[in-house]
Amino acid sequence: MAKNDLIGGALFEQYSNIVNQRMDNPLNRGEITEEEAEAMGTKLIVADFGAESCGDAVRLYWAVDPETNVIKSSKFKSFGCGTAIASSDMMAELCVGKTVDDAVKITNIDVEMAMRDHPDEPAVPPQKMHCSVMAYDVIKKAAAIYKGIDIAELEEKEMVCECARVTLSTIKEVIRINDLTTVEQITDYTKAGAFCKSCIKPGGHENRQYYLVDILAETRAEMERERISAAIPTTSGALPSSPEQFERMTVVQKLKAVEAVIDENIRQMLMMDGGNMEVLDIKDDGENIDIYIRYLGACSGCASSATGTLYAIEAVLRDKLSTKIRVLPL
């Protein structure tokens, strides 16, 4: 057994029997030679992939029927921890009998699910889920070689969750369609953040470009801005003509400008939901213009008042007046 699959001193207690068996006795480890592929009337494809984060590497062999694009045989060679070996073994098995296009749809979630003893019990601990990411990537590489295209044409852009292979566009779409308000709901709907959890918020074992907490906040703010824009026409009135003009105003002048933007773009929408807001103070330290507000009515107890609604108010004020503005509820 691989020593680096020891978790907290417990030997494979969080691993399924299938994983343990395939660590020791993988069923599809080996190679396919040119002679073997030719004897089957197939085209040999060999693809390599290495995971920089953990040093694991895998080589995937496919024997593909050029007439039907069906993978007749699939083998692998793997260097790395036991989880990587077991995942690669299952990945190779899942490819057999599929067309190349269908094989590309295999994700590491499919691999992990196939290694479970019971549908509701994970096959590997969350922190080892990344070991099966190689399966998804080496399949794409093999498919790109077979099709004679660049792998980038098969890759989804802006991947947020490497474990579940969930993209930024998918997460934002799910939030919008289902009106999601919590990270837990995102995980329930997409599995993003269900495994190693590094994509949930900063501070995980891997630095990410996107985090679920930020995507949720930004998407909710976009939704709120769109709702406000759709319901209320915007007029310029006597607003300052530039951010610089606003920033040179006195506190009283700033207050009037802020109130004008709120009246034209925000207040009516809050009132439609039984709420309202008032500006309590404005403080300008040269770097930031802090606008202190208080929610009234239904807004004072609304869960989104500290997230989506707040971000929307701040975004409108920053867009209309100055990017230095920060909105702080009291």
Q: Residue 18: which of 91, 89, 115 has the closest Cα? A: 115
- Indicate if 161 belongs to the active site: no
Q: Which pLDDT tens digit goes with each residue over 59-99?
A: 999 999 999 999 999 999 988 788 889 999 999 999 999 99
- Indicate if 131 belongs to the active site: yes
Q: Which pLDDT tens digit goes with each residue over 218-252?
A: 998 888 877 766 654 444 445 787 888 888 888 88
Establish how many alpha carbons lie within 13 A of residue 151's alpha carbon, considering only the half-sphere containing its beta carbon.
Answer: 11
What separation in angstroms does the CA of 227 have from each of 29, 108, 204?
55, 37, 34
Question: What pLDDT, on the 0 to 100 scale, is given for residue 156?
Answer: 57
Q: Which residue has the higher pLDDT, 154 or 170?
A: 170
pTM, rounded to two decimals: 0.54
Q: What is the largest CA-CA distance in the chain?
A: 86
81, 131, 163, 199: the catalytic one is 131
Structure tokens at 14: 């969080």
Range scoring the smallest mean pLDDT among 135-149, 224-238, 243-257, 273-287: 224-238
Domains of the chain (ranges; CATH) run 3-154 (3.90.1010.10), 161-229 (1.10.10), 233-329 (3.30.300.130)
Q: Residue 7: which of 196, 241, 287, 281 has the closest Cα? A: 196
Per the prediction, the chain carries an average pLDDT of 84
